[in-house]
Amino acid sequence: MSSDRFPLAWAVALLGALVPVALAVPAAALEDPTQPPRTSSHAGAEAPVSALALTAILGHGADRVAVIDGRRLRVGDGVGDATVARIERTLVELSGPDGPTTLTLFGPSVKAPAGSRKEQR
């Protein structure tokens, strides 16, 4: 009787060893959800400077790093057909073939005195 259990025990042990390996392979192919989406890099298919999005400015002083379209850039780095010329607290200035372009961290600001806007109902 014990000889009948021997092949079954090996089959169970082998199955127990292979199942975790089989489950780990698809998990390795998954993308990291904390990383920015991947973009295809085709030569000449760079985004125009006006379509770039400034999402963060890290550091202070000369050690500032701007995050533009998910890429960390310093002064002198290229993005699209432009070059990072200056990084301030809330803006990044790019120099490109069409002249300087400013990307702001918080978008355009519209300031108006209190009560000057009509309420919409």
- Give the start-to-end residue ranges of the domains of the chain: 49-104
Greater model confidence, 35 or 83: 83
What pTM did the predictor assign? 0.50
Closest CA to 87 of 99, 70, 105: 105
| Model confidence at 116: pLDDT above 60 | no
Lowest mean per-residue pLDDT among 6-10, 52-56, 86-90, 113-117: 113-117
pLDDT at 75: 94
CA 52 and chain centroid, separation: 13
Q: What letters, b where the CB count within 10 A reaches 16 and e where it falls short, cover 18-49?
A: eeeeeeeeeeeeeeeeeeeeeeeeeeeeeeeb
Fold annotation for 49-104: SH3 type barrels. (2.30.30)
